[in-house]
């Protein structure tokens, strides 16, 4: 059981827009910065979004992040077949013990 | 550009100690940031283990706290993971990572598969 809750799967057609949610609590998302990762099959996770909505260099602006209260969202616009992957949210959790926590992951299928 | 590379045995026997090393290049671990480990069991999600600053400050997930340690070897620009009393449930791909501001694991190694089996 993950501390952060994500939908197990989402799907959309190429060119469409998809949203992946990440729900937490006041001790994690509600008070700390959120990151999002993309994991393509057989590869290490890659940072997509940090500090709730910032993109590392090289990440297309098709990927965007936002946060409101104790929930965060990853939006992917103009879906491409190469976006088919697992996506994870993560953040620092301050209570009851300080640690980093991940969501359970969301499998994105591009139909 | 910082790069991380895990190394260590790919097979460990139950009840023994899992030891992995992360070689860091392109950045000195004594310059700053936390350095840590994350694992992923086959077909499962990501599981954060813990991290450490080169001066000794460390954080661990409580589920590992009693049997995990992370140490740095600053002269070699490496840090290591030790996980004691392993079971088959510890079979996973282990990633080392540099944790940047907000403790975000930003730079990752490619991962190493460790199988626990007799």
Which are the contacts of A76, defined by CB distance < 8 A and separation ≥ 6?
A: A17, A18, A19, A20, A62, A63, A83, A108
pLDDT at B44: 85
pLDDT at A25: 96
d(CA A20, CA A71): 11
Point out which residues pair with A18 in neighbouring strands. Answer: A76
Q: What is the pLDDT of residues A12-69, one digit of tens each?
A: 999 999 999 999 999 999 999 999 999 999 999 999 999 999 999 999 999 999 999 9
Q: What is the pLDDT of residues A75-103, one digit of tens each?
A: 999 999 999 999 999 999 998 889 999 99
pLDDT at A6: 97
Which of B70, B98, B101, B95 lies closest to B1, judged by CA?
Answer: B98
CA atoms within 13 A on the CB side of A37: 23
Q: Which two tokens stand for residue B17?
A: 């100690």
Residue in A35, A47, A99 closest to B61 by CB: A99
pLDDT in tens, chain B (118 residues): 999 999 999 999 999 999 999 999 999 999 989 999 999 998 888 999 999 998 889 999 999 988 999 999 989 999 999 999 999 999 999 999 999 988 999 999 999 999 999 9
Question: Which helix or strand (DSSP H or E) is residue B23 part of?
Answer: strand B18-25
Contacts of B106 in chain A (CB under 8 A): 47, 50, 56
Q: What is the 3-state secondary structure (H, E, C) of B49-102?
A: EEEECCCCCEEECCCCHHHEEEEEEHHHCEEEEEECCCCHHHCEEEEEEEECHH
pLDDT at A35: 98
Q: Are A36 and A49 in contact (CB under 8 A)?
A: yes
Write b or e for each residue in B65-98: b if 16 or more Cβ atoms lie within 10 A of its Cβ, otherwise e: eeebbbebeeeebbbbbebeebeeebbbbbbbbb
Shortest alpha-carbon distance between residue B47 and chain A (Å):
7
Q: Which two tokens stand for residue A42?
A: 């057989």
Q: Closest residue of B to A100, CA-based?
A: B48
Q: Do A45 and B46 touch (CB under 8 A)?
A: yes
Shortest alpha-carbon distance between residue A110 and chain B (Å):
20
Contacts of A37 in chain B (CB under 8 A): 46
List of E strands, chain A: 9-12, 18-23, 34-39, 46-49, 63-68, 71-76, 85-93, 99-102, 106-110
d(CA B99, CA A42): 22
Which are the contacts of A27, defined by CB distance < 8 A and separation ≥ 6?
A: A93, A94, A95, A96
Shortest alpha-carbon distance between residue B105 and chain A (Å):
8
Q: Which two tokens stand for residue B50?
A: 């813990």
pLDDT at A1: 80
pLDDT at B65: 80
């Amino acid at each position: 059981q993950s501390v952060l809750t994500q939908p197990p799967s989402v799907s959309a057609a190429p060119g469409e827009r998809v949203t992946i949610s990440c729900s937490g609590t006041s001790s994690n998302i509600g008070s700390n910065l959120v990151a999002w990762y993309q994991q393509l099959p057989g590869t290490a996770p890659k940072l997509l979004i940090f500090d709730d909505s910032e993109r590392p260099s090289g990440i297309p602006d098709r990927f965007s992040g936002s946060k409101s209260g104790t929930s965060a969202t990853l939006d992917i616009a103009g879906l491409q077949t190469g976006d088919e992957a697992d996506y994870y949210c993560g953040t620092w959790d301050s209570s009851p013990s300080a640690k980093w926590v991940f969501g359970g992951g969301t499998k994105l299928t591009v139909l | 550009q910082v790069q991380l590379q895990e190394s260590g045995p790919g097979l460990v026997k139950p009840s023994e100690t899992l030891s992995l090393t992360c070689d860091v290049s392109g950045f000195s671990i004594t310059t700053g940031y936390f350095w840590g480990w994350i694992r992923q069991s086959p077909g499962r999600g990501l599981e954060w283990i813990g991290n450490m600053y080169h001066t000794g400050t460390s954080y661990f997930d409580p589920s590992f706290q009693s049997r995990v340690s992370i140490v740095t070897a600053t002269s070699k620009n490496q840090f290591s993971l030790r996980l004691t009393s392993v079971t088959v449930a510890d079979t996973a791909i282990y990633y080392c990572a540099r944790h940047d501001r907000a403790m975000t694991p930003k730079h990752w190694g490619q991962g190493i598969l460790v199988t626990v089996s007799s």
